[in-house]
């Protein structure tokens, strides 16, 4: 039974939409212009910017007295609140499981948010386990986190596939550990020359289909 190593944000669960929803509500609460959502999205950089840096940027721009820790908690809680599991994603995971694959989440991020999202959305019912970088002490693309994921479910990495939307973290990580991969392009073109995905897909469902056919 091979492993299906899956990214979380913008792979299994939409993260861009929930962050935008939180951002729009937050801007309305502090009386900022609606158009500032574009600035907030650019600062967030699709989740790649450290949460504390996002909080500090917000405090500086709007001259807020709110402590950074309160802004970080608001961001975490807001994203969790707005995140939903697409029933079609759940179905795809069930199909993979029925076909003999073992889905395991491998996510960079904070335990508090990622664990809450996995459990609150019910995603935990469709995966064998999950590894979060903060808890693991190592982040993608470091091969060690994929090894830890395999150890978590007492399986070998051989025969596994990696699926994710990040060229560096997911596809670069798969290349570093010698595994085939599927990149979720999300409308982007592949620009990396050091490595490349085995397959490219426009969402998790076709990605799972590619793995099952591969």
Measured CA distances, 123 to 40, 57, 74, 111, 134 (Å):
28, 32, 22, 15, 19
Identify whether the C-beta of residue 21 lies closer than 8 Å to the C-beta of residue 78. Answer: yes
Backbone dihedral angles phi then psi of residue 123, each to the nearest 5 degrees = -60, -30
145 and 185 Cβ atoms separated by less than 8 Å: no
136-174 confidence digits (pLDDT tens): 999 999 999 999 999 999 999 999 999 999 999 999 999
Say whether the peptide bond before residue 141 is cis (omega within 30 degrees of 0): yes
Q: Residues 75, 22: contact at Cβ < 8 Å?
A: yes
Q: Render pLDDT for 52-81 as a digit per residue (tens, 0 to 9).
A: 999 999 999 999 999 999 999 999 999 999
Compute the Cα dihedral for 183, 187, 189, 192 and give only its sign.
Answer: negative
- What is the per-residue pLDDT across 26-55, written as a single tens digit (0 to 9) for each? 999 999 999 999 999 999 998 889 999 999
């Amino acid at each position: 039974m091979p492993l299906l190593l899956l990214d979380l944000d913008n792979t299994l669960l939409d993260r861009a939409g929930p962050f935008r929803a939180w951002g729009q509500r937050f801007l309305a609460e502090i009386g900022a212009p609606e158009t500032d959502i574009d600035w907030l999205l650019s600062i967030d950089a699709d989740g790649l910017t450290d949460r504390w840096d996002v909080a500090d940027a917000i405090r500086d721009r709007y001259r807020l007295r709110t402590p950074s820790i309160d802004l970080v908690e608001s961001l975490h809680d807001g994203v969790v609140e707005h995140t939903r599991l697409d029933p079609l994603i759940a179905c795809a995971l069930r199909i993979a499981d029925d076909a003999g694959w073992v889905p395991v989440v491998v996510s960079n991020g904070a335990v508090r948010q990622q664990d809450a999202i996995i459990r609150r959305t019910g995603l935990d019912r469709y995966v064998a386990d999950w590894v979060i970088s903060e808890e693991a002490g190592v982040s993608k693309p470091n091969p060690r986190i994929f090894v830890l994921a395999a150890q978590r479910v007492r399986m070998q990495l051989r025969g596994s596939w990696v699926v994710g939307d990040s060229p560096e973290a997911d596809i670069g990580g798969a290349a570093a550990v010698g595994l085939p991969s599927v990149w979720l392009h999300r409308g982007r073109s592949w620009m990396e020359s050091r490595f490349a995905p085995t397959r490219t897909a426009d969402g998790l469902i076709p990605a799972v289909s590619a793995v099952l056919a591969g």
